Structure 1
Amino acid sequence: MKRAVSYNDVAAFVSMPLSSNDTEEDSTSSEEESESKSFPMKKLAIVMVGLPARGKTHIARYIARYLNWVGRTTRVFNVGNYRREILGASQPAQFFDPNNQEGRRARWELAIKCLDDLILWLKHQHGQVGIYDATNSTKERRKYVKERLETESIRVLFLESICEDKSIIEHNIMETKLRMPDYQNMDPERAVEDFQARIANYERANETIDDDEMVSYIKIINVGRTIMLHQLTGYLQGKLVSYLMNMHTLSRSIYLTRHGESEYNVEERLGGDPDLTEKGKRFAVKLAQYIHEEFTGQGKELPLIWTSQLRRSRHTVQFIPTHNVCWRALNEINAGVCEGKTLEEVKQQYPKLYEARLKDKLHFRYPGGESYVDVIQRLEPVMLEVERMREPILIVSHNAVIRAIYGFLIGKRQDECPNLEVPLHVVIKLTPRAYGCEETRIELNVEEDNETVDGSHLDSKLSTRSTKPPKQVFF
């Protein structure tokens, strides 16, 4: 699908990895120095705009997930959550009628409370990017929000989601009525009817953003088919554009797993390029069986497969007869001078390094090697490609890499990634949704049995198209 992009007074449009220093509050990068002259606190508020069922909350959560992962402390402040917590979730469509004075006053007070908390978090609780998730569908409301934030020295970017495609709206309504907290205990047909009435009430007062409002804005039309940019300034806003041009809100499953057990896993050694053990080879067979049941057995095409360029990762998918893209970016964290050593050997030979790693696993960089921050930086282009894809994908990689990818998909902060639990011989199936990510873990039994480890008995089961070994393409 092609995307039309309109550039209007765009001052920055770049996509660069953040260095570890960029995660600190006192960052002195030239990009941020130039953009912070009139906003010395270097804080950004992203103000969502748009009617219900246009994907605003989905987009807001995705942006927060991305920015937290690249090291920008980000939080979504959703006015709807304030309404549900203070007034209760079961508010009828009439509550949102612009002529309902009592409802209008209550919604205004909730919006102000939410905005107050966003400002407090940005100014006094070390937040860097706050996302104000509400309809903000009138010029009057946007003017108030902009002036209030800029008075607090917070830069403002409006992000409007416009949808003219009825099929997308209907899909979003179905997702909402099944998953939105407002309709959890309501009959589905009644929920759809009430939500459509709520949308109609908002439509009566809706005003799209115009250039005469003198604001920086991004307009996403039909979930990214067209993107319009106006008066963007600064490094971070440029990164957001790069991300938004790749994301979408369509649902599909992403499968993650580490390679099968390797010789170094048994010896508890770091890095290297060892081959699989017998148990690791059995996992390769079991993984092929699982993929057969999940896809070919249900009449679906096999998923795209990505692995690292290392043998233990490539050999784990050797029995799945489909193309395999081997990414250098998916290689395990480079342990530098510690490659091939056990942690006990590192402790004995490099005690200061061992202690430094224990104190700060995220930023610790092996001499001549990498840190977790380095791994996340090199994975950023890979994850943008994952965001762009609309088909299922199986990613087979290594402990540090799968931790980083898994952390991105479930919305973890960068500092949480190094300690996420990703055991061997477990497939993690993730299905992103508007209000979170559905997760299923499938543990594959690799204990000895009567099955061979050469995969020969799988040829007729896995694919009717080919019994040839999978083709591997290095990238």
Structure 2
Amino acid sequence: MVGLPARGKSYISKKLARYLYWLQFETRVFNAGQTRRRALAPQKGVYPSSDVSLSHPASFFDPDDMDAVKRRENIALQTLEDLLVWLNDESSSVGILDATNSTVQRRLAVLDKIRKTAHPCTELLFLESCCYDWSLLERNIRLKLSGPDYSQQNEESALNDFRKRIVLYEKNYVSMNESAEEEETPYLQLHDVGRRVIANRINGFLSAQATEYLLNFRLHQRQIWITRNGESIDDADGKIGRSSSLSLRGTKFAHALSVFIKQQQQIWEEVKTYNKSRVKAGENKEILTSQEDITRSNFQVWTSIMVQAVETSKFFPEDEYLIRKFRTLNDLHAGQMEGLTFSEILDSHEDQMNLRRQDPVHYRWPGTGGESYADVIHRLRPIIMELERLDDHVLLITHRAVARVLLAYFKELDWDRIADVEVPPGRVFCVEPVSAAELSDEIS
């Protein structure tokens, strides 16, 4: 990572790591700030006094203080060393160095260490975050005050100290596209977390995956709702995999779902209107937001092309909702087991059920079109891209396996937990992607 403080580097690192891990690339973020704070922590067994601070004052980041410069360089390179040691493990795929790396000298030192230490085939990509949106930057700065560097300070002194830190970093900051020495270095530069993107010398499969994902970043506040189709006739009979019309219970759920979503829309608009009035009145600086965050969002309803999902959407008026159908949202294909109950499968294909229990994520149903959860992950990649890109609210009416995979992405679940995600019938999950100042999406 590259960028001044409060530019959303940790947010971008976390989002990118989540996506690559969901794609089944072992990914980890290494944060230089955590390394710096660990260096201040009391030794094991020593009880810290109440006045011990686990942060450095702004003066520690003065580029004219050569002793502090050397210490910061050592911290950054130690964090990089930890990353490279981890990356040398055969199971590791992507390491992200979350640090400012704001000078050409620092970046060249990072590049030199990687070339000397890492495997010759290791891909390298610098990712720079620039922020020109004043309201976004101000929100980032204020939310930094609740972080570990300032948890023991009052708001005014913390804010003054952090602003001084930014000014000190700005003295020697050189952007990637301003450095003639780095013209051949692969980098991606994000302005306002995706409003504008500059790509330079992007090569390699994983770099391309990361670039494609980052091109779809949006900060617009919205809600993503995820639910299963209403009960179908096959569901009621315990049969898996086929298109099937809704039962009476399923039709009742479909109607209730449309009423519920309408109510949630109204609540959302009321909250946004209230927040907008508070911002105008200057009552709450922590909810400062850009103009697009306080305008009305449209609402889309996405379904699979399976009958039970399409019928679940039938009570949403097409003049109020954009209804879209995606084959990629279809249920996990059960191959030759389509239309059978699990009891029937156990009776006639006990060997397959045993294989499924041993590796539920990678087990693929036998027969034409049979899929595994891993197949569904890669099938849903364009859906994730579109969800990240979209400014509108969206309701996804899909199926249990697909809902599990989507929730695994938003909840950052380990691969081996995907098949165990609870998605009960009649439950609607809400995801609220957060701003660049925060670190994890909210799921209710």
Q: Does the TM-score normalized on the shorter chain lie above 0.5?
A: yes
SS in 2 for 1:296: helix
- Structure-2 separation of matches of 1:340 and 1:70: 29
Picking from 17, 42, 55, the partner of 1:64 is: 17
Structure 1 runs not aligned, ≥5 long: 1-47, 442-475
| Contact kept? 1:65, 1:411, Cα under 8 Å | yes
1:400 deviates by 0.9
SS in 2 for 1:282: helix
1:266 aligns with 2:231: no
**For 1:42-441, what aligned pairs fall within 5 Å after superposition?**
48-87=1-40, 89-101=54-66, 103-124=68-89, 126-152=91-117, 153=119, 154-177=122-145, 180-184=147-151, 187-188=154-155, 190-209=157-176, 210-213=179-182, 214-296=184-266, 298=269, 303-321=299-317, 322-367=321-366, 368=368, 369-433=370-434, 434=436, 435-441=438-444
Distance 1:370 1:186, change over 3 A: same
1:186 deviates by 5.1
| Contact kept? 2:226, 2:429, Cα under 8 Å | yes
- Structure-2 separation of matches of 1:291 and 1:185: 42
Structure 2 runs not aligned, ≥5 long: 41-52, 271-295
Number of residue pairs aligned between Structure 1 and Structure 2: 393
- Structure-2 separation of matches of 1:328 and 1:394: 16
1:429 deviates by 1.4
Give the TM-score normalised by structure 1. Answer: 0.76
Once the two structures are superposed, what CA deviation does each residue of 1:324-364 show, in whole Å capped at 9, x if it has no partner?
Answer: 11111101011010001111211221222211111111111
SS in 1 for 2:231: coil
| Contact kept? 1:291, 1:302, Cα under 8 Å | no
| Contact kept? 1:65, 1:412, Cα under 8 Å | no
- Structure-1 separation of matches of 2:314 and 2:93: 44
- Structure-2 separation of matches of 1:192 and 1:266: 58
Distance 1:186 1:292, change over 3 A: farther
Q: Which amino acid aligns with 1:379?
A: L
SS in 2 for 1:295: helix
| Structure-2 residue corresponding to 1:37 | none
SS in 2 for 1:395: strand
Once the two structures are superposed, what CA deviation does each residue of 1:23-82 show, in whole Å capped at 9, x if it has no partner?
Answer: xxxxxxxxxxxxxxxxxxxxxxxxx11111222111111111111111211111111222
1:421 deviates by 2.1
Going by fraction, where is strand more abundant, 1 or 2? 1
Q: Which amino acid aligns with 2:305?
A: Q
| Contact kept? 1:306, 1:327, Cα under 8 Å | yes
Q: Which amino acid aligns with 2:14?
A: R
| Structure-2 residue corresponding to 1:448 | none
1:85 deviates by 3.7
- Structure-1 separation of matches of 2:426 and 2:325: 20
Q: Which amino acid aligns with 2:334?
A: A
SS in 2 for 1:49: coil
1:99 deviates by 3.1
- Segments of 4+ moved more than 6 angstroms: none
| Contact kept? 2:126, 2:188, Cα under 8 Å | yes
| Contact kept? 1:246, 1:387, Cα under 8 Å | yes
Once the two structures are superposed, what CA deviation does each residue of 1:266-307 show, in whole Å capped at 9, x if it has no partner?
Answer: 332211112333333332233223212211354566621111
